[in-house]
Amino acid sequence: MNTTFKSKRFLVLPLLALAACGMCKPSHAADALQDAFECRAISGKIDGALQARTVRTDGKTQTHLAPPIMVFGFPVTDVTVFREGGEDIYTSYINAPVSDVALADGQITAKQNSFYKSHDNSHGVALTFQRGTKAGHMTIDRAPDNMTTRVRCVIGTESED
């Protein structure tokens, strides 16, 4: 009897956390974040989803998430969201080569990936892949730390008249 009570208590805490962030299911928060950071769609739930998963933030741009979200099939814990001048910029940092992320996004083929990967690593070529999406404009390139791949989604928030 005591074991049953303990297991029920552990179920209540996650449900209270979900209710506090306004999400009805954990997958809704993950889906909203994945859509934003893959530049597919921005929902009104993005701010609540970010707050629910934020472990720490520098108060300005860098946010560390737990559990990780998946961006093009890669786990992501570090993101930035920057809003200014009619633009929202959603950036995720992935521990994978630029060409692997572009392959996962469907921007290049597997054959092109092996070519890019060999040139990127051996010749110091800075690979950048860009495309327009329904939500905005996406860029996949190497992050300034030169260790991770940066996926940026720029979305115009001002309405056109």
At 60-74, the pLDDT tens digits run 567 888 889 999 999
161 within a domain of the structure (yes/no) = no
Q: How far apart are CA 150 and CA 98, in angstroms?
A: 8
Residue of 109, 147, 146, 111 whose CA lies nearest to 129 = 109
Domain span at residue 87 reads 2-156
Q: Over the stretch 76-104, which tens digit does the pLDDT of each residue have?
A: 999 998 888 888 899 999 998 888 888 88
Does some domain include residue 99?
Answer: yes
Q: pTM (2 decimals)?
A: 0.72
Model pLDDT for residues 35-49, shown as the tens digit of each residue: 999 999 888 788 888
**Tokens describing residue 160:** 């056109």
What pLDDT score does 44 carry?
79
Q: Are 37 and 71 spatial neighbours (Cβ–Cβ below 8 Å)?
A: yes
What's the domain count of the chain? 1
3-class state of residue 32 by DSSP = helix
Instruction: Check whether 10 has a pLDDT greater than 60.
Output: no
102 close to 89: Cβ distance less than 8 angstroms = no
Report if residue 143 sits inside a domain. Answer: yes
Please check whether residue 35 lies inside any domain of the structure: yes
